[in-house]
Structure 1
Amino acid sequence: MTDKFTIVRLAVEGDKFELLVKPDPALEYKLGKRADISSILVSDEIYSDANKGSRASTEKLMKHFKTADPTEVAKQIMARGELHLTTDQRRKMVEEKRKQIVAYIHQSFVDPKTHVPHPIMRIEAAMEQARVSIDPHKRAEDQAKDVVDALRAILPLKSEISKLIVRVPPQYAGQSYSVIKSTGELKGEEWLADGSLKVTIEMNAGLRGTFIDRLGSVTKGTAEVKEG
């Protein structure tokens, strides 16, 4: 593997299939940011071992992919196979995934003593102390449970739901609705006679402060928020 190409590998029933691809375009394709598969391929050969130059047999292609068309096979290998990341790609993806996990924990958990989220830097420091390993391929939410379990010995964490009753004046009701809907789960909604909006909403306690700030910005501080 070089900076000019990398390998995508797929094993099916003991048979191995590999593609030679351009690293950054292949990653974009894998992430759904690029649609043209021909733009990511170094060659349209389907290999059983790319390093040795061994090509996969037509018989095995037909058996596992129901076609010997290299473009169609390449699409299936890209969809189901594992892209071998370059060192730089892995570093960037791990860092981005780490940020997503930290944000998820910050929004979803609170300190049980204060009932407010731990600061971002404190969560990051705890992850360093716990030597948490981040998988660049797994969704942040799917990894968060294991990360939280690893952090509990260092950082007290509690999943807590806030229930708020919100009243928005008529002139800001429309603008506020999208902020409310995007933050939590609506448990009640009422349009009052004067045109104002009253809702009951539940959300992760970690989102409470951000929600109140966003709502205050949209309504120029005129929204009423109280505990439900």
Structure 2
Amino acid sequence: MISLDEAVTARLESHGERFEVLVDPDAALAIKRGEFDDDLEDVIAAEDVFEDASRGDRPAETALEEVFETTDPMEIIPEVIKEGEIQITAEQRREMQEQKHKQLVNHITRNAVNPQMDDAPHPPDRIESALEEAGFKVDPMEPVENQVDDALDDLRPIIPIRFDEITVAVQVPPDYAGKAQSRIRQFGDLEREEWQGDGSWVGVIRFPAGMQNEFYDLVNEHTSGEAETRIISDEDELSTR
């Protein structure tokens, strides 16, 4: 379960009665969209249905039976969320907006590059500043993924930006290959790999282009900077980084 501080109220009025439940805001939106497949108990603050959640008042069981044909809270809670309205305070809305804003900046930073600078990643501060200059406001009630395209449309007049993926070949010396390859291969999609006769490991990894610096840092950390990396172009020509 979640804490009361994390929860918002979902409210349904029906048959002259009011029903309220306390739920995680993101989970509530996922339930309304039919996209929720997690454990309901993990995203609610109380396994209960209220008439007034702020006072802890509960509706009569006869009212539950009349509206939902059951008194089981775990069956009723999703129905209240789906059919009702999600109530959030100004403070909850502000906190949700800040959280979604951070998620949006992180998503764009990890996936976007600057096409005018050899597809170098944009630092988070640059994305932050450009979003502020564009006046883009994150909708706290929408998933971040649904807002990325609108954010990019607002960013393009301000900074050169595009979403892309990159394919990098990396060769790890024998002294580091055993441990390093297990970490490197998890970074993105491992397209192919090969163990060399001298015990070194070669892998070809594809991942969001904005994560280049993070990838190189990982490789250097686990190989003491002795690995070789090459960017593979669309024409499969290798260019040394």
TM-score normalised by the chain length of structure 1: 0.75
Counterpart of 1:134, as a letter, is V
Pairing partner for 1:40 from 42, 46, 56? 46
Q: Distance in 1 between matches of 2:91 and 2:134?
A: 24
For the Cα contact (< 8 Å) 1:45–1:70, is it kept in 2? no
Pairing partner for 1:159 from 160, 163, 174? 163
1:217 corresponds in structure 2 to: 221
Distance 1:227 1:10, change over 3 A: same
Q: Distance in 1 between matches of 2:133 and 2:156?
A: 12
Q: CA deviation at 1:82?
A: 5.0
Distance 1:38 1:143, change over 3 A: closer
For the Cα contact (< 8 Å) 2:114–2:122, is it kept in 1? yes
Counterpart of 2:41, as a letter, is A
Partner-residue secondary structure (3-state), 1:189: strand
1:188 corresponds in structure 2 to: 192
Alignment of 1:104-143 (within 5 A): 104-114=107-117, 115-143=119-147
Q: CA deviation at 1:6?
A: 5.6
Q: Does 1:69 align with 2:72?
A: yes
Pairing partner for 1:207 from 199, 204, 211? 211
Counterpart of 1:8, as a letter, is A
Partner-residue secondary structure (3-state), 1:35: helix
TM-score normalised by the chain length of structure 2: 0.71
Partner-residue secondary structure (3-state), 1:183: coil
Q: CA deviation at 1:212?
A: 0.5
Q: CA deviation at 1:55?
A: 5.7
Distance 1:177 1:139, change over 3 A: farther
Q: CA deviation at 1:225?
A: 0.6
Runs of 5+ consecutive residues of structure 1 not aligned to the other structure:
none
Q: Distance in 1 between matches of 2:142 and 2:104?
A: 11
Q: Does 1:89 align with 2:92?
A: yes
Q: CA deviation at 1:147?
A: 0.9
Pairing partner for 1:9 from 8, 11, 15? 11
Q: Distance in 1 between matches of 2:207 and 2:43?
A: 41
For the Cα contact (< 8 Å) 1:38–1:71, is it kept in 2? no
Partner-residue secondary structure (3-state), 2:171: strand
For the Cα contact (< 8 Å) 1:46–1:70, is it kept in 2? no
What RMSD, in angstroms, separates the aligned Cα atoms of the two structures? 3.8
Q: Deviations over 1:93-129 (max 9, x none)?
A: 2112111111111121111110212221121111112
Runs of 5+ consecutive residues of structure 2 not aligned to the other structure:
29-37, 233-241
Instruction: Report how many aligned residue pairs link the two structures.
Output: 213
For the Cα contact (< 8 Å) 1:116–1:206, is it kept in 2? yes
1:27 corresponds in structure 2 to: 24
Distance 1:224 1:152, change over 3 A: same
Pairing partner for 1:226 from 223, 230, 238? 230
Q: CA deviation at 1:210?
A: 1.3
